[in-house]
Amino acid sequence: MKDWRQKLWQKVKKKIDKESMALLEAGVGTGKNIAYYPNGIEIYGIDFSPKMISKAEKKLKKQNKEAKLLEMDIQNLDFEDNYFDLIVTSCVFCSVPDPIKGLEELKRVLKEDGRIIMLEHMRSQNKFMGKMMDLFNWVSLYTWGANINRRTIENIKKAGLEPVEVNDLMSDIVKEIELKK
């Protein structure tokens, strides 16, 4: 997972072309990505869990990085329309109650020329593997709070976002996805 995170943030850093950019990490969690935050731009991290925000704030201080960490629901973002140049998610949409609403909110706060870069796991298109993921989803949901059978690519399209690039990182289950409006 660490290698995937590094690759994700390398891609993010390549997209940064001016200091006035605003970046949102949606689903900051415990702050595993904070070490990769670029310097010199405006960064926000959100999570719906106050405990996660508290853990992420400790990592932020320890890593000597700057960002505004806020308790917020991805399905109801408290940001202006067209605010962010870049939005990053990593393993977030498995736990969002209404993933299409969450994606629509990201689209709303993304600038017209902005990009969303995602590292997400999803249901396999392989018939056997997909059925196995459906069968064991309840175990994952109960144990980790994560749906392993989300149809994220379909949800992206339903939310009105357009995939620019999709790279399979582990079979067709873990993907790095770049989106635009």
Residue 56 in contact with residue 97, Cβ under 8 Å?
no
State the pLDDT at residue 32. 94
In this predicted model, which residue has the larger pLDDT, 82 or 2? 82
Q: What is the pLDDT of residues 51-97, one digit of tens each?
A: 999 999 999 999 999 999 999 999 999 999 999 999 999 999 999 99
Q: What is the pLDDT of residues 106-126, one digit of tens each?
A: 999 999 999 999 999 999 999
Q: Give residue for tokens 């357009």.
A: 162
pTM over 0.85, yes/no: yes
Query: With pLDDT > 70 as the criterion, what percentage of the chain qualifies?
Result: 99
**What's the rounded Cα separation, in Å, for the pair 181 and 106?**
10
State the pLDDT at residue 91. 95
Structure tokens at 39: 């310097």
State the pLDDT at residue 20. 85
**What's the rounded Cα separation, in Å, for the pair 27 and 20?**
23
Please compute the mean of the pLDDT values over residues 26-46 and round it to a whole number: 94
What is the CATH class of 2-180?
alpha beta
**H/E element, 138:** helix 127-144
Query: What integer best gives the mean pLDDT of the chain?
Result: 95
State the pLDDT at residue 18. 77
